[in-house]
Each structure stands twice: as structure tokens, then as C-alpha cells.
């Protein structure tokens, strides 16, 4: 998923006057109007100055997530993110989206980045907008519950409210079925009456000048059906994003492009410098660079996440070219990026479509039989068990660091479907912080052979390998299964 907008996060202690001025300008033009009953400026536009941001949020407890179209600031979310004795808490204290850019998922992207970390203790927002309360519930798969919030009132007051300047001394009604703070924010409440009534049932009616203090907690019951469709059903959406953020070039598995090309070219004597080559899911383009270095005349790569020299941005399932290739590479788990094997098959079929009659494809996939694999087993036919296990799963930083997939605590495996679930957290670098549920398909030799053949290719070689491809390993030792195939329509062509 490559966005047309640029997202980033600025820690509060790096909030300088230029950004504060931009935040104030966007807020003042886009936030909305005071209600007619407001003691200040009734019916007038709500405005803030740069000084407000600097006085209240220029400290390390706060962060500002922003979205820009080019250089223009189009959305902002200011939030508290702090450590507490029970774990981290993130509380959004301001959310503004420029009217021209609403209904494009910008607010959802910002909020999901702020609330998306499954190992936090609590997530929340101070708002009078029922839709953002419901966004909190959707992002955290938990319903706001005023009773629960009031039972934790002492903790919330001490660890959360006391840290937010405009809430520290604001009266908070958290008895029985209400959680409302008297923030003296007299805004117009006429929009979204149906959603408002729904939220009122959970957090109580707001009096003039009040906002809801909406919170959900990690140890709360989960909305399981919602969670299933939203996180397991949509996990494919996150694959490209997780890959985009993976520092592939620095990881150990990606260190032997030269050795890999030595071996492939040895096995494929018909491939020469004049053979046109395409690398499907080329990543950083390391194999493209290696072949170019060896004098290959036409080498190109495609990838939907990374782009490098000679690699264009495209999806291997649907990319179309007039050119037909004598060698197509598809190495290191490009096939297997999707939980649904129809998507993995679509990559293979597109490879078959772009292969010359006498061409070869070299495909490597993650080996389900590798004995070094860890992980807690789960039966993914039982949705409730699956989703509960996903929620219990510790997030990992495997993709952001080593790329090695070995921790039992942070991998769930469904053997019968060959699926491995892991939550990947990313911080720093460009973009928003994020946690993604990534589902990898790992194959047995029989499964990948069957899928390759279903795509209209014929296997000419198959071996269990590790990076470099030099050794022909046993099933238990090989991290990858390497398959060389050609088109079914051709006469048998030679592969040594
Ligand atoms: C583990 S990396 C391997 C990269 C490269 N082949 C290498 O060996 O260095 C897998 C790559 O496949 C890409 N990928 C997965 N599915 C894809 C798709 N449908 N279209 C384009 N790229 C895809 C990812 O973005 C990622 O860069």
C-alpha cells in the first residue's frame, strides 16, 4: 500500500515554532465552530495560536503525527504517549483533518498508527465526536465501557490526566455510566446524531463544554468477530507496508546475491548475457544489480514495496509487459507473501505469462519443513481460538531488525494451512510508527511443486537451500525451497 500522502511523527520535544505555526493554522481553519451556547465567541470559528502548541505539547510526553500532501499540512493528531506502572498508554488529545481531504482514510491512518500497538496497556481519546470514539473501538477491537473506566479512575487521573495540561485540573465525571471531562470546549454537537446516541449509551450524555474521555484497556474483552474480519481478513493490506519498512539490505539472508547468481547461471547454461531477465519481487534490486554487473544487457525488477536502481514499483500479480523474458527470478518468499494461496498463484501465473517459450523461472519459497522453526500452534479453523491467540501473541521486531524468524513467543503457526502469523512493529525511519499483522505462507516441497505446476510451469529442479543456494540440504536444514521451472508448452530444455 503506497500512500499518495506523507506521514510522519514529531516528538514533542522537537516541536519548534515553524511546525507549531502550521498546526495552529490548520486547526484554526479546519477544526470547526464554537456552539451558539458557548461563552466564548458563540458561533465563531475555533482558533488556536502557535504559542498554545508550544506551551502545552513541546515536551517529551507528547507527539504530533502529521500528514502532508506535498509540503501542505493536511492532517494532524496530537497525542500523549507515556509509560505507566501498568504499561504504555496513548491518548489522542487533538485530531484535525483539512475539509478537502476528509473521507480518504487519512484520520484512520493517523489513529491506527497511534493506537495500533497491541502491547500497550490502554488507548484513548478526548473528544466530543462520536465517530472518533467508534474509531478507537474499531482500532483496538474493544468497546468503551464507562463502568470499567470509572473503576480505574484513580489510575487514569494519576497516570494520564495529570500529564495533559488542559485536563489536569478539568473536572471529570466518571461515575456510573459516564466518562466526560469538563474541558470547557463548547463545540457544536449536532452532527452524527445516530452515532452520538450509540456512544452516549456507553459513555453518557455530554453537557455543554464537556468531552468524552474514551479509553479502552488491553485486559478488556475483545470484539472477536470484528477483529477477525479486520485484522485477519485484511492482513494482506499490510504486507507491502511491512516490506517497505524492512531494511532488507542489512539482513543476513540477503547477503549472498553473487553466490546465488553463480549457482543459478551454472544450472542454467542456456542463459547468457543477451537473455532478458526480470526479477519479480526484486526488493532492493540486489540480484538486478548483480546481473548488470556481470554484463547482462537487459535486467529489470518489479516490487510493490521497495524500489531501487532498476526496480519499478508494481504488483507481481497484475504487472503487464510486452516483453517476454528468458529468465524470471522470484526469490526469497515473494510467493508466500499472501495467506490466500490464490494470490500466490497469481504471481506464478504472471511469471508463466511473461516467460519466453524457452525461458526459465527460478523461484524460492519459505520451507515449512525447516526444523529451526518455532511458534505456538493454533488451529485456524477455529476463528475464536485463532483471534484470541493473535491477541496474546507478543509483537516482534524481526522484520525491522534481523529478518530471522525464530522466536516461539512471537510466531503462531497453523501447520495444516502452512500459515505463520507474526506482529511486526516498526519505529523510526520515515513514516508513522506501526504494527502490522503479517501472515506468511510456508510450503512443503509437494505444495510448492503443485502450485508451480498449476500456474502452467514444469519443474526442472527442486532443492532445499539456505542463502547462497550452494548446498543441497535435507528438508529439515533448508530454510528455503528453490524451484527451477520452465513453460509446459516447451520441449524439455536443459538444466544441469
Ligand atoms: C523477502 S523479500 C525478497 C526480495 C528479493 N527477491 C531478494 O531476494 O532480495 C520479498 C519481496 O517481495 C515483494 N513482494 C511480495 N509480494 C509482492 C507482490 N505481489 N508484488 C510485488 N512485490 C511483492 C516484497 O515487497 C519484498 O520486497
Query: How far, in Å, from the CA of 324 to the mean position of ligand 1?
Result: 20
98-99-105-110 Cα dihedral, nearest 10 degrees:
30
How far is C-alpha 165 from the geometric centre of its chain's CA atoms? 32
On the 0-12 / 13-18 / 19+ scale of CB atoms within 10 A, 61 is middle
CB 38 within 8 A of CB 186: yes
- Determine the residue of 337, 366, 468 to mutate for testing ligand 1's pocket, defined as the one with the most ligand atoms within 8 A of the Cβ atom: 337
Q: Does residue 243 sit in helix, strand or coil?
A: helix
Query: How far, in Å, from the CA of 281 to the mean position of ligand 1?
Result: 3
381 or 285, higher pLDDT? 285
- Determine the residue of 250, 257, 286, 303 to mutate for testing ligand 1's pocket, defined as the one with the most ligand atoms within 8 A of the Cβ atom: 303
Average confidence score pLDDT of the chain: 90
Cα–Cα distance between 44 and 210 in angstroms, integer?
A: 18
How far is C-alpha 33 from the geometric centre of its chain's CA atoms? 35
- Answer yes or no: is pLDDT of 464 > 70: yes
Cα–Cα distance between 22 and 108 in angstroms, integer?
A: 21
- Residue 239 is predicted with a pLDDT of 77
- Answer yes or no: is pLDDT of 441 > 90: yes
Mean pLDDT within 353-362? 96
Cα–Cα distance between 50 and 70 in angstroms, integer?
A: 22
Q: Which of 37, 20, 28 is CA-nearest to residue 184?
A: 37
**CATH architecture of residue range(s) 255-369+443-487:** 3-Layer(aba) Sandwich (3.40)
238 close to ligand 1 (CB < 6 Angstrom): no
Cα–Cα distance between 362 and 291 in angstroms, integer?
A: 14
- Residue 465 is predicted with a pLDDT of 97
Question: What is the residue-wise DSSP string for 157-185?
Answer: HHHTGGGSHHHHTS-EE-STT--EE----
333 close to ligand 1 (CB < 6 Angstrom): yes
Mean pLDDT within 404-428? 83
Cα–Cα distance between 405 and 367 in angstroms, integer?
A: 12
Crossing angle, helix 17-30 and helix 50-57, to 10 degrees? 120
Cα–Cα distance between 173 and 169 in angstroms, integer?
A: 13
Task: Report the percent of the chain where pLDDT is more than 70.
Answer: 94
Query: How far, in Å, from the CA of 330 to the mean position of ligand 1?
Result: 8
Query: How far, in Å, from the CA of 243 to the mean position of ligand 1?
Result: 7
Strand-strand pairing, 299-303 and 277-280: parallel
316 close to ligand 1 (CB < 6 Angstrom): yes
Cα–Cα separations (whole angstroms), residue 494 to 195, 269, 315, 485: 66, 8, 30, 11
246 close to ligand 1 (CB < 6 Angstrom): no
CB 279 within 8 A of CB 494: no
- Answer yes or no: is pLDDT of 3 > 70: no
Query: How does DSSP classify residue 435?
Result: E
Q: Which atom of ligand 1 is nearest to the CA of 243?
A: 25
Task: Report the percent of the chain where pLDDT is more than 90.
Answer: 64
Cα–Cα distance between 114 and 324 in angstroms, integer?
A: 45
Query: How far, in Å, from the CA of 453 to the mean position of ligand 1?
Result: 21
User: How do the domains of the chain map onto residue ranges?
Assistant: 6-221, 255-369+443-487
Cα–Cα distance between 184 and 38 in angstroms, integer?
A: 9
Cα–Cα distance between 467 and 412 in angstroms, integer?
A: 24
Q: For residue 1, what pLDDT band results from cuts at 50, 70 and 90? A: very low
- Among 186-190, 322-326, 396-400, the least confident range: 186-190
- Residue 266 is predicted with a pLDDT of 97
pLDDT tens digit sequence for 5-24: 899 999 999 999 999 999 99
113 close to ligand 1 (CB < 6 Angstrom): no
Strand-strand pairing, 311-313 and 299-303: parallel
Query: How far, in Å, from the CA of 248 to the mean position of ligand 1?
Result: 10
- Residue 225 is predicted with a pLDDT of 67
Q: Which of 82, 136, 83 is CA-nearest to residue 107?
A: 136
Q: What is this structure's pTM?
A: 0.80
Cβ neighbours of residue 143 under 8 Å, at least 6 residues apart?
137, 202, 216, 220, 221, 223
- Answer yes or no: is pLDDT of 429 > 80: no
Cα–Cα separations (whole angstroms), residue 275 to 39, 92, 295: 77, 56, 11
Q: Which atom of ligand 1 is nearest to the CA of 240?
A: 25
Name the CA radius of gyration of the chain, rounded. Answer: 26
- Determine the residue of 254, 286, 288, 304 to mutate for testing ligand 1's pocket, defined as the one with the most ligand atoms within 8 A of the Cβ atom: 304
Query: How far, in Å, from the CA of 23 to the mean position of ligand 1?
Result: 37
Cα–Cα distance between 385 and 224 in angstroms, integer?
A: 10
Q: Which atom of ligand 1 is nearest to the CA of 316?
A: 20
30 close to ligand 1 (CB < 6 Angstrom): no
Mean pLDDT within 341-346? 95
Q: What angle do CA 418, 464, 449 make, to 5 degrees?
A: 55
345 close to ligand 1 (CB < 6 Angstrom): no
- Determine the residue of 334, 440, 466, 480 to mutate for testing ligand 1's pocket, defined as the one with the most ligand atoms within 8 A of the Cβ atom: 334
Mean pLDDT within 425-449? 87
- Among 5-9, 227-231, 432-436, the least confident range: 227-231
HSE at residue 133, side-chain half, CA atoms within 13 A, is: 27
pLDDT tens digit sequence for 74-127: 999 999 999 999 999 999 999 999 999 998 889 988 998 899 898 999 999 999
Closest C-alpha residue for ligand 1 atom 9: 283
- Answer yes or no: is pLDDT of 457 > 50: yes
Q: For residue 430, what pLDDT band results from cuts at 50, 70 and 90? A: low
Query: How far, in Å, from the CA of 439 to the mean position of ligand 1?
Result: 14
Q: Which CATH superfamily is domain 6-221 in?
A: Gcn5-related N-acetyltransferase (GNAT) (3.40.630.30)
Alpha helix (H) residue ranges in 204-297: 224-227, 235-245, 257-267, 286-293
- Answer yes or no: is pLDDT of 406 > 70: no
Q: Which atom of ligand 1 is nearest to the CA of 284?
A: 9
- Residue 231 is predicted with a pLDDT of 63
Mean pLDDT within 352-361? 96
On the 0-12 / 13-18 / 19+ scale of CB atoms within 10 A, 348 is buried
pLDDT tens digit sequence for 146-203: 999 999 999 999 999 999 999 998 889 887 789 999 998 888 888 889 999 999 999 9
Cα–Cα distance between 277 and 360 in angstroms, integer?
A: 10
346 close to ligand 1 (CB < 6 Angstrom): no
Amino acid at each position: 500500500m503506497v500512500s499518495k500522502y506523507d506521514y510522519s511523527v514529531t516528538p514533542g520535544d522537537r516541536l519548534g515554532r515553524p511546525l507549531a505555526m502550521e498546526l495552529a493554522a490548520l486547526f484554526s481553519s479546519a477544526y470547526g465552530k464554537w456552539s451558539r451556547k458557548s461563552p466564548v465567541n458563540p458561533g465563531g470559528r475555533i482558533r488556536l495560536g502557535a504559542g498554545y502548541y508550544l506551551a502545552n505539547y513541546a515536551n517529551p510526553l507528547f507527539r504530533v503525527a502529521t500528514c502532508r500532501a506535498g509540503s501542505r499540512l493536511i492532517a494532524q493528531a496530537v497525542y500523549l504517549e507515556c509509560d505507566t506502572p501498568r504499561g504504555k498508554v496513548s491518548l489522542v488529545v487533538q485530531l484535525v483533518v483539512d475539509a478537502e481531504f476528509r473521507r480518504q482514510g487519512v484520520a484512520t491512518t493517523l489513529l491506527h498508527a497511534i493506537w495500533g500497538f497491541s502491547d500497550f496497556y490502554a488507548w484513548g481519546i478526548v473528544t466530543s465526536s462520536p465517530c472518533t470514539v467508534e474509531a478507537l473501538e474499531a482500532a483496538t477491537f474493544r468497546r468503551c465501557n464507562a463502568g470499567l473506566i470509572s473503576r480505574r479512575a484513580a489510575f487514569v487521573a494519576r497516570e494520564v490526566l495529570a500529564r495533559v495540561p488542559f485536563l489536569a485540573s478539568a473536572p471529570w465525571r466518571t461515575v456510573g455510566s459516564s466518562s466526560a471531562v469538563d474541558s470547557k470546549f463548547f463545540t457544536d454537537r449536532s452532527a452524527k446524531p445516530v452515532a452520538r446516541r450509540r456512544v452516549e449509551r456507553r459513555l453518557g450524555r455530554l453537557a455543554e463544554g464537556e468531552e468524552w474521555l474514551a479509553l479502552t484497556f488491553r485486559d478488556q474483552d475483545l470484539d472477536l468477530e470484528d477483529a477477525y474480519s479486520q485484522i485477519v481478513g485484511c492482513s494482506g493490506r499490510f504486507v507491502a507496508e511491512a516490506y517497505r519498512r524492512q531494511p532488507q539490505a542489512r539482513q543476513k539472508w540477503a547477503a549472498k546475491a553473487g553466490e546465488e547468481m553463480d549457482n543459478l547461471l551454472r544450472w542454467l547454461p542456456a542463459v547468457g548475457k543477451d537473455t532478458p531477465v526480470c526479477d519479480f519481487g526484486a526488493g532492493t534490486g540486489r540480484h538486478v544489480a548483480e546481473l548488470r554487473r556481470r554484463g547482462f544487457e537487459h535486467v529489470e525488477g518489479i516490487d510493490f514495496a521497495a524500489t531501487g536502481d532498476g526496480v519499478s514499483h508494481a504488483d507481481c500479480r497484475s504487472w503487464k509487459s510486452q516483453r517476454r523474458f528468458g529468465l524470471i527470478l522470484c526469490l526469497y518468499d515473494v510467493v508466500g507473501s499472501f495467506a490466500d494461496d490464490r494470490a500466490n498463484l497469481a504471481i506464478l501465473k504472471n511469471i508463466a505469462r511473461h516467460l519466453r517459450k524457452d525461458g526459465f523461472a527460478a523461484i524460492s519459497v519459505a520451507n515449512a519443513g525447516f526444523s529451526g522453526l518455532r511458534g505456538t500452534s493454533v488451529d485456524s479453523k477455529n476463528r475464536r481460538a485463532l483471534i484470541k491467540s493473535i491477541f496474546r501473541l507478543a509483537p516482534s521486531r524481526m522484520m525491522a531488525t534481523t529478518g530471522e524468524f525464530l522466536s516461539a513467543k512471537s510466531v503462531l503457526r497453523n501447520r495444516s494451512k502452512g500459515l505463520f502469523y507474526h506482529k511486526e512493529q516498526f519505529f523510526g525511519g520515515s513514516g508513522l510508527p506501526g504494527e502490522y499483522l503479517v501472515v506468511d505462507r510456508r510450503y512443503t516441497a509437494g505444495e510448492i511443486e503443485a502450485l508451480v505446476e498449476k500456474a502452467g510451469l514444469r519443474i526442472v529442479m527442486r532443492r532445499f537451500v539456505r542463502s547462497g543456494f550452494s548446498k543441497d540440504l535435507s528438508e529439515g536444514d533448508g530454510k528455503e525451497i528453490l524451484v527451477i521451472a520452465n513453460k509446459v508448452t516447451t520441449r524439455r530444455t536443459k538444466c544441469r
